[in-house]
Structures are given as C-alpha cells and as structure tokens.
Amino acid sequence: MRTVNTINTDWYYAPEFREEYTSLTAAPDWQRIRIPHTNRELPLNSFDERQSFFVSTYFRKVRLTAGSRTFLDFDGVMCACDVWVNGQMAGSHEGGYTPFSVELTDFSKAGEDANVVVRVDSTEREDIPPFGHVVDYLCFGGIYRDVRLRTQDHAYIASVFARPEKPLEAKKDLAIELTVDGLLNDAAGAVKCELLDGTRVVGSAQVDLVPNRNSYVARIDAMEGLRVWDIDDPALYGLRVTLAVSGSDGDGPTDEWTTRIGFRAAEFRKDGFFLNGRRVKLVGLNRHQAWPYVGYAMPARAQRRDAEILKRELGVNLVRTSHYPQSPYFLDACDELGLLVFEEMPGWQFIGGPEWQDTECVNLEEMIRRDRNRPSIVLWGVRVNESPDSHDFYVRTNALARRLDPTRQTGGVRCIGKSELLEDVYTFNEFNYSGEAEGKTPVRKQRIVTGKRTNVPYLVTEHNGHMFPTKRFDNEERLAEHALRHARVLDAAFADQSVSGAIGWCAFDYNTHKDFGSGDRICYHGVMDIFREPKFAAAVYASQGPCEKGVVLEAASRFAKGERCAVRMIPVQVWTNCDSVVLWRGGERIGEFFPDRGAFPNLPHPPIIIHDFIGDRIVKEGFSERDNARIRKAASVAFEGSPDDIGLVDKIHLASFLVRKRMAYGKLYDMIADYVNAWGSKDEAFRLEGFFNGKKVAERVYGGDACAVALEVRADDDALSVGDWDTTRLTVRAVDRFGNTQPYAAEALDVRVEGAGELIGPNLMPLSGGSTAFWVRTAEAAKPGDSIRVIVRSGRLGESVVTIEIR
Ligand code: GAL
C-alpha cells in the first residue's frame, strides 16, 4: 500500500556546495531548516537580486521501510538539482516549477537511514527556462515547495487522468485513463475506480489486468444525480483508484490513488468563453507566487489565501498563473473556490536553443500531468510569455499539450500582433491603452491585432501594468487614474463579444530584476501591493460582483483638502455595486448619485462619479432653481479644473446672476468654495451611504480633519496548525476615527513575536501608505495548546497585541 508523508522538517542547509558533501553520513553542523525554504531571505526592496543566485546544499536522513519501494517526491526546487543517496547519484531535475521524483530503493537498505544530499542550483542558468535573457520577476531559490516520502509496493499506479464526458447531461460519463507500473509478468488482478461524493461511492468500474500491458481505460457511465462544477458552485468529486494484484507480488490491495475531479464544460469560442454552455465574460488578474523576504517559499495556507483574495476580495473569476506552473495548494483552492485558471509553462520573452526547448517541453509535460484533473484549469499556456513566433517549437508544445490532454484548449500569450496562431485561443497582451489623453482604444478589435479575416477565440491576457505603475503610497490622483484605466479596459472587453475577457496585470506587486520596476526591485503593477493590501484599482474588480454577495463601497478619495493638484477635490469616483449613493456633508444631504453608464456602458457596475459637492444644499440660499443649477455646474467645472474652464455662455449667466443679486464675485466664490470644501471651510465629515433595492446597505465616513488615532492590527487567522510550518499574515494600519487608513502616517513599528511563533522578515518596519503587513510562522517546537503572541509597538499610536492559537 502507498503511504505518503511530507518530510519538510529535519533538513540541514549550507549556502554552498562542495564535492565532499555528496557522501555525508551525518547531519553536519549546518543550519537546521524547514521546507518550504528560500536559499536566502531578502530585504523588501532595494537589494541586489544576485545575492540569491548561488548553489546550496540540503541534507536529511530518511528512513526506509522494509520490503517496499521508496521515493522522494519534490514539488518544486529552483531551478535545478542533483540528488545523492548514500553517496550515489540518484536523480536530478531541471526547471523550478514542476514536480519530480527520485527513487531511493536501490541506493539504500530497508530498515536503515539513507543520507540524502540535494545540490540546489539557484543560479539563473541559461539552459533552463525562463532564463537566458532578462526576466521581469525574481525566481528566488531553494527547495521552496514540499518534499514527500512515498513508500509503496512493487506494482503501483503511475498516472490517472480522469476525463468527464457529457458533463451537462443528466447521465454523465467518466473515462479514466490510467497507467500501472512495476507489474511482474505473471501478475493478475484488477484496477477498481470509484467516484466519491464525500465518502459515498456514486459510481464505480473495474478493469482486469492483462499480462504485459500497463495502460488501461476504465469507464463509469451514465451516472445520475451528479452536480456540475461551476464558478458559483464548484462541486468536486473524489476519485479513488485501487490496484489489487495477485501472483508473486502477493495478494490484496497494492496501491491506491485519489484525486478530485469536476464535471464541467469550458470552451473558448469566436464569440466568447462558455462555461457549462453559458457565456461568461472572463475578468481576471495575473498572479506571481511571490511574497516579501521569502520569495516563493510559502506553505499551503498562504498559497490558499491568495486564491481566496482573488476570488472573495477581488471578485475575479479567472487567474492566470503568470508565467509558470504554480503551487498545488493554490490550485487546490482554485478548484474548491470556483476560480478558473489559465496555467502556463515557464518563460519570459526568450526562447533558448534545442536543450532549453527540450527542458521546456519536459516542464510542460510535468505541468499537464500534474494538473489535468483539475476542473478549475480551462486553458494551457504553451508559448513562452510574449515570445516571438517559433514555428517548430510551438508546433511541438501544442502537439504535446493536445496529446497529454485533448480535453482542454491551448493558448499562447503574445504581445506581437499578427503572430502565428498554432494554439486554439489567441491570447494577447493588450498594452495599447495609455490613458484617455492619448486617445488610444483600451481594447482593439481582435482582427486588427490578429491580422486575420475572421474572428478566432480571443482573450486579453494582460493590460495596464507597466503602462501605469502605481504605488499604494502614490498620491490620490494617480491611484484614482490607475483604477479608471483598469475599468476602461474591462468596459471595452465587456463591450466586445469576440473578446472572451481581460486579465489585468496584475494582482500583487512583486520583486523583480534591476531592469524592471521602479529601480528598487519591485514592480508596482498590482491592484494590491506586495503585502496584498488594496489600491483603489482593487475596488474596480471587487465592485463588479453582485451586491447580494457582498457590498462594495469604496471612494477613490481621502477627501483631504490639499492632496490633489490645485486643491481640487472633485471628481470623486466611488467603486460600488450599490444602485446609488447618497453623499452627506456634516448633517446636510448633498445628493444622490448613480452609476456612470454613459462613460462605462458595459461594466456590470460602473463607478459612481461625483462631480458636484454643492448638491441640494444650495436650496437654502433661496436662489431660483435655474440659478442653483448654473452655480452648481460652474462650480463643478471650476473645481475639477479651473475657473477659466467655465464656458462663455455659463460665464455670462453667472455675471447676470451677480448683477441681479447685487453680489460681488468674491462673495459668490467664497460661498462655492465653502461648499466644495476649500481651505478654511468647515471640517465636517463626508458620509457616503450605499443603497441597494431601496435600502441602505453600507456607509463610509471620511473626515477632512481626520488623523491617525490608532493602530489596527489584524491576523488573517486566529489559529495555526502543527506539523509542517504554518503561517498567517498580520496587517497593521494607522486608522483615523472613522476606521480609514491614514495613507501618509509613516510610523515606525517594532514587532516582537513570543511563544510558539517566529517572525518572517525584519522586526523593524515602517508603515508605508499608512499600512504594512508581515507573516508569522509556527516555531518548530509548536504543539497544540500553545499560542503565539505578536506585539506591535509604534512610537505614537501605542501597542497592540494579537494572540494566535496553535491547534
Ligand atoms: C508584460 C509581461 C509581464 C510584465 C508586464 C508588466 O509585457 O508579460 O510579465 O512584465 O509586461 O506590465
């Protein structure tokens, strides 16, 4: 029988490699580490990335069980490694994003400890994708994903590919392609396949073993009462495959393999993307699997949390794993949450020579074999991101993908128009748009890009990004413009049925090489920062979901009097899925405002753009309705731009108003200035109320005179687990009395972690953009019942303590 356990603890690490290490027999006096492990912790930014490009060594003792075959399964090692067992070379792997196994059986004796030495090459090797030229992201280094010890009988199930058929019919079929390895010639027996709903078997089939054959297809047909996997109801079923062999190998169950599957139909067509037969406009974001300090080396909980952020906080329906196969834990969560995935092979703009291409094909195969049972994955990326055409190579990658998985379409992300389409879907990075001022369209007609006479299945796979890098601590106008630019591309994608959707660049800011980003080794392209704290653009995505599922009400403004150029305060964009908002200042109602369907006719929830801060309040001045309207209009124009922008006719109206009322221009100006919250006007709070179906469902209050009064410290989880190391994020925000983050409160923080935990990264940190975050991980000795105390101190805003339980 198969047993599989992670062996992420009890490893020893040296940040160098020497030939003599290959024959180590005892745990050397090295640093004791736990996996996921990064070869070197890095600063947040402004560092020389070359410090993580080196060769290192990992050592561990592994106990083999009697009479079995034993394997080490590696989920991901960046970017190449060699494995020695008891001094003998037992295996190696190239490529940092895909799994591989090394068999220990022949190199060691059952019942004894084997000495495992792993030489990890984290230099950016030109013969291994994505390296060879420049790359706009860091790949970090180390054994950064789980390692497992697998023991099993001689004969075993080597692969299972379950292909749901007729997913939308009442009677659904399942074809299970499987391979069995290690069978002896006289072996007899059978493979049983069971489909499980929880623990209940809902269908089963059996195939008998045939001498000298190791590939089989089992079918479970005409199953009734099964649910369809969908983004709103991601119904998963378990599949248990059991191999029972009799003969010289012995009797009884020999191996068991379990996986999860879903019944769903997903297809990119010329007129959009269809999930389970209905058109779904894809609204997605690209994700890098990186975090501050430890790069890629984060365990299950953090990986899963990213998927939750994308699905629940950002409300997107698709993620692109730019630009490589990502953590199985992340993808598990995508399957469970109903978050669609476009997964692509490693690479960035560059195609290497024949050896490089061979490695790429191996990595592609490893990716598809690992993930082809996942219902969330709807497209394989079989081109190196943004690479030029390369006919033979891409004929090969497409053929490979189609052979390994004929059920899914291929895409190949390009930035060069009119490039050769060997894939099923033309996936294009659309960076045409550079703001309204330049007059370029946010999403071009696909035929202009493809150069084809007819439409093809088409998906925008990146937009914005480097066209408008925006830091969370940038000024409000830039952050608001960033949000608008994402919205304009989305609106254009919604408008064009031949565009399956648009995937923005990108979800989170990320560490990068010196050639990219802001010169500090960060690309500030995320709609959230590197700590997963939202910029205004995050609310563009979040607000596109239905209000019933969660109200979003986010003004892209802090209502401060001097933040914007020329003391402007309007317009204020409100990103919301409410039907309308009512704005109040002090106790006075300014007015009710509605989604701007004129500017964003296609978005499910256009922003509400407030151009008028005077509103209904002017009635109390006793002017006529017509005068009120004219004053409000002129005020909007003047305070969004300048008084010079007021048109001639309006100026004449105002002049006649002043004459009629015998009012000095200065007095009118002061009155308007007071309404629109100019210098010296009363510091009354602005209150935004969100209405849905006639009911008030949300409220936000912003105070012009607000200042930081407290530190708000929150942990994403109140309990962590023992076993392999576990982690959670704590966010720290300087908040005002209304609970809003004060973006320029630049307090210094001192973070102490006591008890059963450790801090990841430095303990001294600044608030940046009014907030920051850090991760705390369980200590190696943590046991159930322990707790972690996190103490956050700031000079001015006091101290906050958060306790996290260990379960
Ligand atoms: C694209 C590239 C991405 C990222 C992005 C920045 O060209 O595919 O990886 O660099 O630009 O906007």
State pLDDT tens for residues 304-313: 999 999 999 9
- Angstrom CA distances, 217 to 153, 176, 273, 401, stand at 22, 5, 30, 20
Q: What percent of the chain has pLDDT over 70?
A: 99
Least trusted range by pLDDT, from 2-16, 102-116, 445-459: 102-116
- pLDDT tops 60 at residue 348: yes
Q: Which residues contact 483 (CB under 8 A, 6 or more apart)?
A: 535, 536, 537, 539, 540, 556, 573, 575, 607
Question: In terms of DSSP bridges, do strands 318-321 and 340-344 run parallel, antiparallel, or are they unpaired?
Answer: parallel
Ligand 1 centroid – CA 662 distance (Å): 60
Nearest residue (by CA) to ligand 1, atom 4, is 136
Q: What would the pLDDT profile of 715-741 be if each residue is shown by its tens digit?
A: 999 999 999 999 999 999 999 999 999
Q: Which residues contact 177 (CB under 8 A, 6 or more apart)?
A: 159, 160, 161, 162, 163, 215, 216, 217
Residue 603 has which token pair? 């978005």
99 touches 370 (CB < 8 A): yes
Round to whole Å and give the CA distance between 435 and 279: 29
- Report the mean per-residue pLDDT for the chain: 95
- pLDDT tops 60 at residue 96: yes
Q: What is the pLDDT of residue 112?
A: 87
Tell which one of 135, 386, 510 to mutate to probe ligand 1, the residue whose CB is within 8 A of the most ligand atoms: 386
SS3 call for 648: helix
Q: What is the pLDDT of residue 251?
A: 67
Tell which one of 385, 431, 466, 527 to mutate to probe ligand 1, the residue whose CB is within 8 A of the most ligand atoms: 466
Residue range 123-152: average pLDDT?
Answer: 97
Q: What is the pLDDT of residue 9?
A: 97
Q: What is the pLDDT of residue 171?
A: 98
Nearest residue (by CA) to ligand 1, atom 9, is 136
462 is catalytic: yes
Question: In terms of DSSP bridges, do strands 695-702 and 686-692 run parallel, antiparallel, or are they unpaired?
Answer: antiparallel
Q: What would the pLDDT profile of 548-582 be if each residue is shown by its tens digit?
A: 999 999 999 999 988 999 888 999 999 999 999 99
Torsion of CA 26, 31, 35, 38, to 10 degrees: -130
Catalytic pick among 430, 462, 476, 533: 462
Q: Which atom of ligand 1 is nearest to the CA of 136?
A: 10
Q: What would the pLDDT profile of 487-535 be if each residue is shown by its tens digit?
A: 999 999 999 999 999 999 999 999 999 999 999 999 999 999 999 999 9
Q: Residue 419's CB: how many other CB atoms inside 10 A?
A: 19
Residue range 769-781: average pLDDT?
Answer: 97
Q: What is the pLDDT of residue 247?
A: 63
Ligand 1 centroid – CA 136 distance (Å): 7
Of 157, 165, 245, 155, nearest to 203 (Cα)?
A: 165
Buried b (16+ CB within 10 A) or exposed e, 431-446: bbbeeeeeeeebbbeb
Q: What is the pLDDT of residue 438?
A: 84
Rg of the chain, C-alpha, whole Å: 30
Residues with CB under 6 A from ligand 1: 136, 322, 385-386, 415, 429, 462, 465-466, 505, 525
Ligand 1 centroid – CA 214 distance (Å): 44
Catalytic pick among 124, 366, 386, 554: 386
Ligand 1 centroid – CA 287 distance (Å): 11
- pLDDT tops 70 at residue 248: no
Nearest residue (by CA) to ligand 1, atom 3, is 136
Q: What would the pLDDT profile of 574-603 be if each residue is shown by its tens digit?
A: 999 999 999 999 889 999 999 999 999 999
477 is catalytic: no
- pLDDT tops 60 at residue 320: yes
Residue 784 has which token pair? 């159930």
**What is the length of the chain?**
807
Q: What is the pLDDT of residue 109?
A: 85
> Is 0.85 surpassed by the pTM of this model?
yes
Q: What is the pLDDT of residue 266?
A: 98
- Angstrom CA distances, 44 to 293, 351, 668, stand at 6, 30, 51
